[in-house]
Each structure stands twice: as structure tokens, then as C-alpha cells.
Structure 1
């Protein structure tokens, strides 16, 4: 038992060196955890995600179960985020039964940033991560965003990523503070509660009910279930504050190499 605990602590210590740590429920954030802007951003994030009525059940549960990890990066240098996300995925891979989530806080240092600015920053971050990925794209997931089974992948792991920005005014559920927040949810988070399953249907009904009380705007038309032929995951990643479509095509482009024999 002791050696297991020590191994776990060693792994968490290694994560901490990569700017990744567990967000403790109700913790009083201190400056030792990062720059001032990051520690300030944690307070409203905790207040929102920790609220019993917060629509995203997965995020709230992760916080309560000590399965919500946090990290930070400056938009001018995203290299620490590459290391942080890879370290997080390595850490959670041996325990797929746990619904562990990483919230990445990014300071884009632009006081007058528009909603489109935050959207462009979000997609630029995903593109940067992909361009600096050390692993091939998972064969079981298409690399083209305009396919129903597409999902962003990094470090050989597919994950649903959604963004929260301070310019989400009508959609308060996607406003988690004064900086851009990216929530990385590996696909195993949704095991057993996928779209179409009884548990998944019930979970999404609860989310929709809470969204009606939390947000001013109704759910965006792009919100759907993974695997539905009419649903495209990328459109749910960064959504407009109204019912419009911000992008006609996905800003993300995957660079997937063919094998030596010319087969994809």
C-alpha cells in the first residue's frame, strides 16, 4: 500500500513540474501555483464549475472527485502546454475508468479581444498542439473534421475539447473567468454515457435542463451527439454567443502522413 501511494505521489510531482496539478475542491489558491493571472482565474472557475447546478455534469463531478486537473500557458509561448497535455494524458491513460479532465488556462493578453479573437486563439492553440504532436493520429479516428466520428487527437489520444471565454455573455455556462479556458476531455470520459445510451440520454437531458436556467441564449443549433451523421464535433468546440455559425469550415487542419506503401 505504501509503495503504491509513493508511486502516485511521484507521478503527481512529475506532473507538477510540467505545470499540471489536481484542483482541490474549495481550495484557497495561492501564488505558489502559478502567475497571478492564473491564480485569480481559478476562483471564478471553481465557483462556476463547483456549483451544484452547473450544466456540465462531467466537469463538476471531476472537481468533486479530485479528477479535474489544471494547467496554464501564455498564448505567446504554447510550448509548456504541449508538455503539460502530454504529461496529463500519460498520467490518466492507465486508469480509463476514471473520468479525468484537464482545464488549460491561456492568457491571450488582449484586453479588447472580441469573441472572434478568442475563437481564433482557440483554434490556433489546437493547431499548435497538433503541429507539435509527438505521436501519429489515431487510426480509428478520421483526420478530417467534417466527418461525424472526428475528434481532436493529441499524443495518440482522441478527446472532446470545448472552450470557455469571457466574451460568452449570453452563454454563461461557457464563461469561466477572465481568460480563455480549454477543457480537454479524453473520449473515455464518456464511456457508458455516449449519445443514444439510456445513461447518456438522461445525462444530456439534465444538461439541457440546467442550460435553460444557466444561460440566456438557448442551446446552440450545433450541439448534438457524437456519432450522429448530422453532427460535427468541431462545431461544438468553440460556439458563438448567439445562434450563428462563426466558421463555414473548420479552421483546424491535420497533417497525417501516409505509410511508405502509399496507404492511408
Structure 2
């Protein structure tokens, strides 16, 4: 089923993409851009809208998906999970990457799985027991440091409006 794009949201997303100097924008500017996209009345992801409305999104900017410091990303994810341990409300760790800017869905997917593979390879904890390790299983969730995450990828070339963002982004949802 293909979602019908709301012209207002599609135009808003395009303006954000055109106006975002992703390579040089400061972290607060990137956070404002993402917040503006999610706050648009036609943005379809209610979970994201709730997280941003409650200020439950932590946004971190990294130089690149390739060669990023997995140790730094892993440390920040551990801190995020510890801060929200046992919390019942949805919270999101938003990892924004200045490079590469995906030009196709395939490029983004390859880079996304590369980041997740690197995290997994540096993880000394077992996979979270209550989720599947098989990406084809409906019960799949990415696990890092024993914490399961529902992963959402966003990028400028996404075909789905709910997955478009002015910058390449991986959201780790608790």
C-alpha cells in the first residue's frame, strides 16, 4: 500500500532539505529542523510526534556513518538506555550523520546496516531476550548492551514521507 503524500508536508520536507547545510549545521539547528518536520500537522508518525512534544528525543550529531566512533555512539546509547531504564513512555535516541548523504534507498540501507553491524560487533552483552535476532521475524528488534531498540531510518532520498529527513538519521526507539 502506498501512502498518499500530503502536499503541505511534502513541500515542507523539501524546503527543509533545501535549506539544511547538513555538513556545517550546528546540532541545535539540526534538532530544530527535525522537530519542525515532526511537528508538521500532516506528519504521519504519532510516536515521533509524541516523543518530540514531550522533549523525549535526544539528538546527537556524528560526522559520518562511515568511520564514526562506534565507541562514542555505543557509550551514548548505554547512557540513554540507563536514563530511561524501566520508563514506560516512548523515548528516542536520534543519531544524525553529516555524511554520507544518501542518494538512493539502497545506499542508505547499506550504511544503516553497516552502523548496526559495527555496534553489534562491539557489543559485549547478549541480545535482549524478549526480541528476535532475525530481521525477517516480526518480533525483531535491534539489541545493544542488552537493550532492545525499534530502529527507524530517515534520509533525504526516502520514498516514504514519514522516512524523509533533511539529514541522514537513525532513530533508536525504546
Larger radius of gyration: 1
Q: SS of the counterpart of 2:97? A: strand
TM-score by length of 1: 0.51
2:82 aligned residue (90, 98, 110): 90
**If each structure's strand is expressed as a fraction of its own residues, which one has the higher value?**
2
User: What's the counterpart of residue 161 of structure 1?
Assistant: 151
User: What's the counterpart of residue 173 of structure 2?
Assistant: 185
1:70 aligns with 2:59: yes
User: What's the counterpart of residue 174 of structure 1?
Assistant: 163
Aligned counterparts of 1:140 and 1:45: Cα–Cα separation in 2: 31
User: What's the counterpart of residue 140 of structure 1?
Assistant: 130
Q: SS of the counterpart of 2:170? A: strand
| CA spacing shift, 1:99–1:166, aligned 2, 3 Å | same
**Contact in 2 for aligned 1:136/1:156 (Cα 8 Å):** yes
Q: SS of the counterpart of 1:36? A: coil
User: What's the counterpart of residue 102 of structure 1?
Assistant: 93
Mind listing any 5+ residue stretches in structure 1 that lack a counterpart? 1-34, 187-264
**Contact in 2 for aligned 1:69/1:103 (Cα 8 Å):** yes
Aligned counterparts of 1:86 and 1:182: Cα–Cα separation in 2: 16
Compute the displacement of 1:157 (Å).
1.1
| CA spacing shift, 1:142–1:171, aligned 2, 3 Å | closer
Compute the displacement of 1:40 (Å).
4.1
Compute the displacement of 1:175 (Å).
1.1
| CA spacing shift, 1:36–1:184, aligned 2, 3 Å | same
TM-score by length of 2: 0.75
**Contact in 1 for aligned 2:100/2:168 (Cα 8 Å):** no
User: What's the counterpart of residue 118 of structure 1?
Assistant: 108
Cα deviations by residue, 1:117-165 (Å, 9 ceiling, x for unpaired): 1111111111111111131112232322232322111111112101011
Mind listing any 5+ residue stretches in structure 2 that lack a counterpart? 1-23
Aligned counterparts of 1:60 and 1:37: Cα–Cα separation in 2: 22
Q: How does 1:25-64 map to 2 (within 5 A)?
A: 36=25, 38-64=27-53
**Contact in 2 for aligned 1:72/1:81 (Cα 8 Å):** no
Root-mean-square deviation (CA, aligned residues, Å) is: 2.0
Greater RCO (Cα-Cα under 8 Å, separation 6 or more): 2
User: What's the counterpart of residue 246 of structure 1?
Assistant: none
